[in-house]
């Protein structure tokens, strides 16, 4: 476990830390409105990247199959879907905005699909190397375009870096362009579509604050939230994403439930979690007391208001990084219906429940909206962990 986690985290760690240290420069080159524009585009493109891949990687994790066929269908479907996204978004927004969304959706979709299949094949070192270069490129391009005052420099930086990730790993990919490709994947289409629905519900909920704040608060609050969320989640994503890849690869079937039980439901693991909680609570108190001053000092004028929610988001992202990676195991262990039901219910509460409460009680405060969101998300996260524990003890 330790070796695999270290390999997956190495590239992420260097890249995410680089972006973390470059953030004080970016905050002086770009304002809250620039981060708000990026937030909206990333929200839609991230959701697209999940649907476009059809989650064929879940099939590949569960059984050795024709990898080339599944990868080919995923990339073709992603490309066609991105074209549709362009024309549909152009009907409601400007052609320029639609072009940004098309390119960002395409790059996100390709990166998501290629990354999942590379990790499924346990090519951890290549994945880590590509991720490290991706983050390096994203940081450098964002700073360069900011200095040159290129319009939507943050968006361009993300697009270019994601295409570079795919380009680096291109030689590890194999394709099936024969007529047999449809026959290879036809039997798993329903399973993959069902998993795609569950996954998009799962991964759309983290995007909810952007849409809720945009509808109930202001564009500036969207930019503030996205800036703080990226700042705090960047180092934690090193662990969360690598941990999720590890869990989905190493415990990908019911037969591996006993190994899962031995690895996680132990006294040692519980003590590590409790220690992490204590450290986070102490750090959150410090951010609560000195947050506004620290943000003004580190990120410049205009960012002091971000300190208001920094302590809350710090607690949320730490706990989420510990709990969220486990959620994909329910589907891999054959409990797709239960997982889908939980995700639908959580999605409804996050999007409609919080919105209706906010409208009814006339709540527009960034802090209040984010507090409701964090409480709901953590409740469902721990609920999934409890269900996994019960599953482990029943099957283990």
The domain segmentation of the chain, as residue ranges, is 1-187, 217-396
* Length of the chain (residues): 396
Per-residue confidence (pLDDT) for residue 300, from 0 to 100: 83
What angle, rounded to 10 degrees, do the helices at 336-348 and 366-395 form? 170
Neighbours of 89 (CB within 10 A): 19
Q: Are 165 and 115 in contact (CB under 8 A)?
A: yes
Residues 6+ apart with CB under 8 A from 31: 223, 302
**Among candidate residues 221, 227, 220, the one with its CA nearest the CA of residue 367:** 221
pLDDT number for residue 65: 62
CA distances from 334 to 151, 191, 330 (A): 47, 11, 7
> Helix 32-52 crosses helix 189-204 at what angle (to 10 degrees)?
160
Full DSSP string of 27-68: HHHS-HHHHHHHHHHHHHHHHHHHHHTTTHHHHHHHS---HH
Residue-level pLDDT, tens digit, the chain, 396 residues: 556 556 556 556 677 777 778 888 999 999 889 999 999 899 888 878 777 767 666 666 655 566 777 778 888 888 988 999 899 999 988 899 999 999 999 999 999 888 878 877 777 788 888 888 898 899 999 999 999 989 899 999 999 999 999 999 888 777 766 666 666 666 677 777 766 776 777 677 778 899 899 888 888 899 999 998 888 877 777 677 777 777 877 787 777 878 787 777 777 777 877 888 888 889 888 888 888 888 888 888 778 778 788 889 988 888 888 788 887 787 778 787 888 788 888 889 999 999 999 999 999 888 999 999 999 988 988 888 888 888 777 765
Sorted by sequence, the CB contacts under 8 Å of residue 80 that are 6+ apart come out as none
């Amino acid at each position: 476990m330790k070796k695999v986690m270290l390999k997956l985290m190495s590239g992420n760690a260097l890249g995410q830390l680089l972006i973390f240290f470059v953030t004080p420069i970016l905050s002086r080159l770009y304002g809250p409105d620039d981060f708000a524009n990026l937030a909206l585009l990333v929200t839609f493109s991230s959701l697209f990247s999940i649907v476009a891949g059809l989650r064929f990687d879940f099939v590949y994790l569960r059984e050795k199959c024709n990898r080339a066929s599944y990868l080919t269908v995923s990339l073709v479907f992603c490309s066609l879907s991105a074209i549709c996204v362009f024309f549909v978004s152009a009907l409601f927004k400007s052609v320029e905005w639609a072009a940004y969304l098309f390119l960002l959706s395409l790059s996100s979709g390709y990166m998501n699909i290629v990354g999942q299949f590379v990790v499924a094949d346990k090519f951890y070192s290549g994945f880590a190397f590509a991720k490290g270069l991706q983050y390096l490129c994203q940081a450098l391009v964002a700073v360069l375009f900011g200095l040159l005052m290129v319009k939507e420099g943050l968006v361009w930086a993300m697009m270019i870096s994601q295409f570079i990730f795919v380009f680096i790993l291109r030689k590890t990919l194999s394709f099936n362009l024969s007529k047999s490709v449809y026959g290879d994947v036809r039997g798993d289409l329903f399973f993959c579509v069902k998993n795609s629905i569950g996954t998009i519900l799962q991964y759309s909920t983290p995007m909810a604050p952007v849409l809720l704040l945009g509808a109930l608060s202001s564009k500036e609050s969207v930019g503030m939230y996205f800036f703080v969320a990226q700042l705090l989640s960047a180092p934690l994503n090193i662990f969360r994403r690598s941990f999720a890849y590890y869990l989905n690869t190493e415990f990908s079937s019911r037969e591996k439930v006993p190994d899962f039980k031995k690895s996680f439901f132990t006294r040692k693991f519980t003590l590590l979690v409790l220690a992490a909680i204590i450290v986070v609570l102490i750090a959150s108190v410090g951010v609560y007391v000195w947050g506004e001053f620290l943000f003004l000092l580190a990120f410049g004028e205009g960012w002091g208001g971000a300190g208001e929610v920094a302590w809350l988001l710090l607690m949320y992202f730490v706990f989420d990084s510990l709990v969220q990676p486990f959620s994909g195991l329910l589907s891999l262990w054959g409990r797709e219906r239960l997982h889908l039901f939980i995700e639908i219910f959580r999605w409804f509460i996050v999007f409609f429940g919080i919105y209706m409460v906010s409208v009814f009680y006339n709540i527009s405060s960034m802090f209040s909206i984010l507090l409701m969101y964090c409480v709901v998300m953590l409740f469902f996260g721990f609920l999934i962990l409890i269900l996994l524990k019960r599953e482990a003890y029943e099957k283990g």
